[in-house]
Amino acid sequence: MPGRECFHCKQWIEDGEEHDCRATTEAALTQELSDDLRDAWERLRETAVSFGDQRIYASHKSIMFSRKSCYFFVRPKRNFLELCVFLGHTLKAPQVRRIDRASKSKVVHVIHVKHRDEVEAPITDWLREAYEFSDVLTSKASTARAKSKHKPTKSRISIR
C-alpha cells in the first residue's frame, strides 16, 4: 500500500490522507494531568505570561514559550512537568536534573516539577532570566547581522 511513515509520530499515512501531528493544543497536552500537575502548569503559565510579550504555542509534545526564539518549554509527563530552560550559563542547583549545551551561547537546564509549590524562586527567577536572556541574544544576533551586511568592500581599480 503506498504511503509513508510520519517522521515525528511514526504513524503510517496513506497517500492522499491528511496528517498534521504537530497540530496540537495546550489543552490537548494538559488534559490528562493530575490536579497537582494541572495547578503547577497553571502557575507556570501565569508566571511566564507576567514577564511580558511572548508567544505561547503547542508543538508536538511540548508547550513552547518564545519571544523571537524559545526561552523555555514544558513537556507534560504522567508524573511531572519537564521544564527545559535556556540560559547563558550553567546552574548548579538540586532542582536541575540535567544540563546540555543547546548552542554556542545557550545551555538547556532540565527541571522536573511535581507540585504547584515548586513553581517559586529559584525556578521563577530562572524563567525570568531566560526571558531576559532571549532578548539579549536576539539583539546581539541582529547587531551581528547588521554589521556583516555593511562590511566595506575593497574596490579594485584596474588601469590599462
b or e along 145-160 (b: 16 or more beta carbons within 10 Å of the residue's beta carbon)?
eeeeeeeeeeeeeeee
pTM of the model: 0.73
- pLDDT recorded at residue 92: 94
- Across the range 40-52, mean pLDDT stands at 96
Residue 122, preceding bond cis, omega within 30 degrees?
A: yes
C-alpha cell at 70: 524559545
The model's pLDDT over 59-105, given as tens digits with 9 standing for 90+, comes to: 888 999 999 889 999 999 999 999 999 999 999 999 999 999 988 88
The model's pLDDT over 19-30, given as tens digits with 9 standing for 90+, comes to: 666 557 888 899
- pLDDT recorded at residue 17: 79
Residue 145: pLDDT over 90: no
- pLDDT recorded at residue 80: 97
Distances (CA, A) of 122 to 3, 16, 98, 108: 49, 50, 16, 16
Contact assessment for residue 127 and residue 118, using Cβ atoms and an 8 Å cutoff: no
Instruction: Name the β-bridge partners of 65.
Output: 56, 72
